[in-house]
Amino acid sequence: MIREDAPVPSDDDTVRYTSAGRLPQAAEVQAAVDQAWRRFRGHRDGVPSSVYPALQRVDPDLFGIAVVGTSGLTVTAGDATTEFTIMSVAKPFVLALVCDELGLDRVRDMVGVNATGLPFNAVPAVEGSAQGRTNPMVNPGAIATTSLVPGASLEERWARIRGGLGRFAGRELHVDDATLASARATNHRNRALANLLTSVGALEGDPADAVDLYTRQSCLAVSAVDLAIMGATLADGGVNPVTGEALIRPETAQAVLAMMAIAGMYETSGDWLLDVGVPAKGGIGGGIISVAAGKGCLATFAPPLDAAGNSVRGRLVARYLARALGLDMLASAPDPTHTGSVS
């Protein structure tokens, strides 16, 4: 029995437990990844993004899978080292940099954290919310998050973003210049969103600067292996499992994963959580990361997208491997000491 006058432990006194379990052995992971690649490589549903003209020119048959565990285990199949533009998969990592620098409360107060239930670039999401607050996983909230990146000049702020995402990937990242030029010529909607955010006090500084930084971060070139390492860093409490560098605080990694679970797959995030069971983030470049806290990250690359802007083959692979590799954080099985049957 618990006494009613028993002292309530403070946060400092509380014993903290973290997600348990590990990925299967390397050979089992490789077999499952190879099987997923063979199973879905012929899938032809979806079309590459038409948001920026450069994205329409990407080979729709490219298809790569990478898994990186918190131990540093790395397993690949297909076009896992082929580079593509990170697009919205940059959002969680810029969020992590800002939260670690300024604190979660600053982001929560200005940007918001709750799902909009609307497409990733929807104007009504800003107009219909209190003080223009959305969440960091959709375009308006991500632009607002990027506007918070500190620095004395635009280029200093960009260096902080590029360098930070490079440390997540464990290597220096470069911008895909062709895609950047295409995006800058056609990103009218993002500019409109930034101006709208400024009008309601939901963006820091010059909206043109925020869009410029946001567009550059979206055009960084990565591979599925890079994304898997980046996601595994979130899974490992902010420590890059390949380089061993501690990049962000564990509580920051936890907050980022929570926001990915809320809205990382946009208006289909509920379906994703039901089908796959882990926080995820997709991008119109064809990448998806699926992060299993304490275990690692599954990253996929396949350009054809569904109506919500997420990779079709990436979704299929994630659903398949969530079960094959035990990634689903919501899955459970009866304790083996229980011998009763379901009536």
Exposed/middle/buried for residue 93 (C-beta within 10 Å: 0-12, 13-18, 19+): buried
Read off the pLDDT band of 333 (50, 70, 90): confident
Least confident of 5-9, 98-102, 325-329, 334-338: 5-9
Closest CA to 298 of 69, 82, 9, 19: 69
As a three-state string, the secondary structure of 228-242 is HHHHHHHHCCCECCC
Q: How confident is the model at residue 2, as a pLDDT?
A: 36
Question: What confidence score (pLDDT) does residue 8 get?
Answer: 44
Structural domain of residue 71, as residue ranges? 26-324
Concatenating the DSSP letter of every residue in 275-320 gives HT-S-EEE-TTSEEEEEETTTEEEEEE---B-TTS-BHHHHHHHHH
Question: Does any domain span residue 106?
Answer: yes
- Identify which of 73, 79, 77 has the alpha carbon closest to the alpha carbon of residue 31: 77
The pLDDT of residue 106: 94
Residue 5 belongs to some domain of the structure: no
Convert 184-234 into a string of H (helix), E (strand) and C (coil).
HHHCHHHHHHHHHHHHCCCCCCCHHHHHHHHHHHHCEEECHHHHHHHHHHH
The per-residue pLDDT for 146 is 97
Average pLDDT of the chain? Answer: 90
Does 180 score more than 90 pLDDT? yes
Q: Is residue 60, in this structure, part of any structural domain at all?
A: yes
User: Please, which residues have CB within 8 angstroms of residue 280's CB and are 6 or more apart in sequence?
Assistant: 260, 261, 264, 265, 272, 288, 289, 290, 291, 318
**CA angle, 224 as apex, 218 and 230 as ends, to 5°?**
70
Task: CATH number of the domain at 41, please.
Answer: 3.40.710.10
339 belongs to a structural domain? no
CA distance 74 to 313: 20
Output the pLDDT for position 9: 46
Range with the poorest average pLDDT among 21-25, 247-251, 311-315: 21-25
Mean pLDDT on 56-75:
97
Q: Is residue 11 assigned to a domain?
A: no
Phi-psi region of 164 (alpha: psi -120 to 50; beta: other; left: phi over 0): alpha
Distances, alpha carbon 95 to alpha carbons 56, 101, 223, in Å: 28, 10, 20
CA torsion sign, 314 to 172 to 59 to 177?
A: positive
> Is residue 89 in a domain?
yes
Looking at per-residue confidence, does 242 or 196 come out higher?
Answer: 242
- Strand 296-301 and strand 221-222: pairing? unpaired
What phi and psi values does residue 166 have, to the nearest 5 degrees? -65, -40
First CA to last CA across the chain, in angstroms?
31
The percentage of the chain sitting over the pLDDT mark of 70, rounded to a whole number, equals 87
In sequence order, the 6+-apart residues with CB closer than 8 A to the CB of 204 are: 110, 144, 147, 148, 210
Predicted confidence at residue 21, as pLDDT, reads 78
pLDDT band at 330 (very low <50, low <70, confident <90, very high): confident
The predicted structure's pLDDT at residue 233: 98
Least confident of 217-226, 243-252, 259-268, 325-334: 325-334
pLDDT at 3: 36
289 within domain boundaries: yes
Cα(160)–Cα(93) distance, rounded to whole angstroms? 12
Contact 74, 228 (CB under 8 A): yes
Tokens of 44: 């032809």
What is the count of structural domains for the chain?
1
pLDDT confidence of residue 111: 87
134 band by pLDDT with thresholds 50, 70 and 90: confident
Residue 252 lies in a domain: yes
